[in-house]
Amino acid sequence: MKTLLRLLLKNQHRQNRSKQAQTEKGMTLVELLVGAIMAFLIITPMLGFVVDMLNTDRREQVKSNTEQDLQAAADFIAQDLSQAIYIYDQKGINAINNSTLPTSGKLPAPANGTPILVFWKRQQMKNSVPINPTVTAKPNTCATRPNECNDTYVLSLVAYYQFKDNDVTWCQPSGGPCPTRIARYEIRDGVKDPSTLAYYPDTETTDAQKKDPAFNSLFDLSKPTENVTVVGQAAKNPEVLVNYIDHSTANVPVPPQCKTTLGVTDLPAPAPALTQGDLLTADGSTNSFYACVDTAKNIARVTIRGNSLRRLQPNDAEFKTTSSAYFPTATVQVQGLGARGK
């Protein structure tokens, strides 16, 4: 009887092992291939969608950054222009650079730089002039003796240039045409003693209170195109205001007619009628930074066009009407403090 039970249990164990081996059988090669194909068909479109969504988000972020940079630059220029007492149109800029007076210097002439917006302003110098010259306070100590000093104003020549070059500092990502940029020059007069109208000695002034070497003391606002700078004296290096200004030259928007935009009135005969070339200051190729100027009314309308695509890629970043959303524009119109002589 024990032997019979042992045989039955042994036989049952063999059957269970056989069934377990059959149920634990793996997937066939065909099943693996079918699964892989199905996974590929499902995952590939989803991956493309995710990549496209990330690229779109990145482009929108770059476009937003470009718009903010342009608006900040336009606001800065507007604030600067609001203090202008004389704004040069293109005719005036040409007159400065074509002057033959031996004492009359030109505007800064950097390589690959074009003057777009040039004007004179009254620059406030806080706590720079001692109230009582007999006391110990001097201009260079006014910062620590504010109760003994007054504010003053000095003349300052401001010039915004558009630069088009291959400087790697401003050409990222590298390769392809580089974006243009806007830089600002300032040539400023120094602080003078109000009792003598003479400049304070260098030993009594800070660097910011000294006259810039390129400032021409012979300048007279009644003759705005003469003696603007010192002959042969270079201006200080400009400060970059904003980069990624559009470099495109083909099919770019055309500037408006300045006469119509500003409502410019011609001078009485026999004075020649003003032309677009007299009023519009531009580089002549990109039209991405230009100004319409009415010198008589001391008004300027400034337009800047950025290029957000150039932040992403060195190539295929030219202006196209179909992608104009990636080339944001900022425009400001400002009237200065008052026309010359008023």
| Euclidean distance between CA atoms 21 and 105, whole angstroms | 100
**Of 175 and 292, which is predicted with more confidence?**
292
Distance between CA atoms of residues 317 and 140, nearest Å: 50
Residue-level pLDDT at 25? 58
Omega into 108 within 30° of 0, i.e. cis? no
C-alpha pair distances (Å), 83 with each of 31, 32, 110, 129, 208: 79, 76, 26, 21, 19
CA distances from 306 to 117, 160, 254, 298 (A): 17, 16, 15, 26
The closest alpha carbon to 171, from 156, 158, 181, 162, belongs to 181
242 contacts: CB under 8 Å, gap ≥ 6: 69, 70, 72, 73, 181, 182, 304, 306
Beta bridge partners of 159: 118, 185
Whether a cis peptide bond, with omega within 30° of 0, leads into 173 is yes
- pLDDT digit string, tens, across residues 112-153: 999 999 999 999 999 889 988 777 678 988 888 888 889 999
Model confidence pLDDT, tens digit, residues 103-116: 889 999 999 999 99
pLDDT on residue 331 = 96
Which of 310, 312, 309, 305 lies closest to 73, judged by CA?
Answer: 305
> Above 50 in pLDDT, residue 341?
no
Minimum mean pLDDT among 6-15, 33-42, 54-63, 325-334: which range?
A: 6-15
Alpha-carbon distance of 22 to 31, in angstroms, equals: 17
pLDDT value at 17 more than 80: no
Please say if the pLDDT value at position 276 is more than 80: yes
Say yes or no to pLDDT of 163 above 70. Answer: yes
pLDDT at 11: 61
> How far apart (Å, rounded) are the C-alpha atoms in residues 112 and 149?
43
Confidence of residue 24 (pLDDT cuts 50, 70, 90): low
Is residue 4 pLDDT above 70, yes or no?
Answer: no
Q: Tell me: the pLDDT tens digits for 180-226?
A: 999 999 999 999 988 888 999 999 999 999 999 999 999 999 999 99
**Are the beta carbons of 175 and 139 closer than 8 angstroms?**
no
The pLDDT of residue 15 is 60
pLDDT tens track for 84-99: 999 999 999 999 999 8
Which residues make Cβ contacts (< 8 Å) with residue 302, sequence separation at least 6?
A: 74, 77, 78, 81, 117, 289, 290, 291, 331, 332, 333, 334
